[in-house]
């Protein structure tokens, strides 16, 4: 299923999320299962299935990494659920350093300073990679799509690190 077609928005990485939200509400209103309560069993099941498809599509298009993965899948490059190792030693070193920084937070005399430092580094790298991802996807060429896939893989590490940092921060607050 092409989520961009479902929402009648351009198949591109940069989306107007307000427009996407408006179209989501319209689709939900049109295909809400309650609208088919008096219909046949088949119509009710189709409405439930369509509502689930709309929810899945909205969730995917709303999230930058999922939107990029869907766009690449439409172009024939599938990367979801794959396990792939990196050969970029600079990236691997950066990941190790950030992991060490996260590991030091709970034992630090000033954990919130380390949290701020880690958050700043993670956010900075995410912003750089998201910009590169947008450029690669905009090119709409197979070589750039493969480059976009590598960028998505790297971004997943930073999103995971950000989540781990949030868990550490919660742990400190408890």
Which CATH number goes with the domain that contains 100? 1.20.1280
pLDDT value at position 174? 85
- Say if residue 101 is in the same domain as residue 38: no
pLDDT value at position 129? 97
Residue at a domain's end among 45, 62, 79? 62
pLDDT value at position 11? 96
Residue at a domain's end among 20, 47, 62? 62
CB 65 within 8 A of CB 156: yes
pLDDT value at position 82? 67
What secondary structure does DSSP assign to 16-84, as a single string?
-HHHHHHHHHHHHHHH-GGGGTTS-HHHHHHHHHHHHHHHHHHHHHHSHHHHHHHHHHHTT---TT---
Per this entry, what is the length of the chain?
Answer: 174
Within a domain: residue 69?
no
Its pTM stands at 0.86
Average pLDDT per consecutive 10 residues, the chain (174 residues; last block may be shorter): 96 96 94 82 88 96 96 92 75 94 95 96 97 96 95 94 96 90
- Say if residue 18 is in the same domain as residue 94: no
What six digits make up the tokens of 111? 């954990």
pLDDT value at position 36? 81
CB 105 within 8 A of CB 115: yes
Within a domain: residue 33?
yes
pLDDT value at position 158? 96
pLDDT value at position 160? 95
CATH code of residue 50: 1.10.287.110
Within a domain: residue 94?
yes
Within a domain: residue 51?
yes
Residue 157's domain comprises 89-173
Within a domain: residue 56?
yes
**Which are the contacts of 120, defined by CB distance < 8 A and separation ≥ 6?**
none
Within a domain: residue 157?
yes
């Amino acid at each position: 299923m092409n989520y961009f077609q479902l929402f009648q928005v351009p198949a591109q990485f940069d989306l107007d999320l307000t427009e996407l939200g408006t179209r989501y509400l319209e689709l939900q209103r049109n295909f809400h299962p309650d609208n088919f309560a008096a219909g046949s069993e088949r119509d009710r099941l189709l409405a439930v299935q369509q509502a689930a498809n709309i929810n899945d599509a909205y969730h995917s298009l709303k999230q930058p990494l999922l939107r990029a993965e869907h766009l690449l899948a439409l172009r024939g490059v599938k990367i979801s659920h794959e396990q792939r190792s990196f050969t970029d030693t600079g990236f691997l070193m950066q990941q190790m350093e950030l992991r060490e920084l996260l590991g030091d937070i709970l034992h630090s005399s000033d954990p919130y300073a380390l949290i701020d430092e880690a958050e700043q580094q993670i956010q900075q790298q995410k912003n750089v990679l998201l910009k590169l991802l947008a450029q690669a996807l905009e090119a709409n060429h197979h070589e750039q799509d493969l480059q976009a896939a590598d960028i998505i893989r790297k971004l997943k590490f930073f999103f995971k690190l950000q989540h781990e940092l949030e868990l550490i921060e919660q742990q400190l607050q408890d």
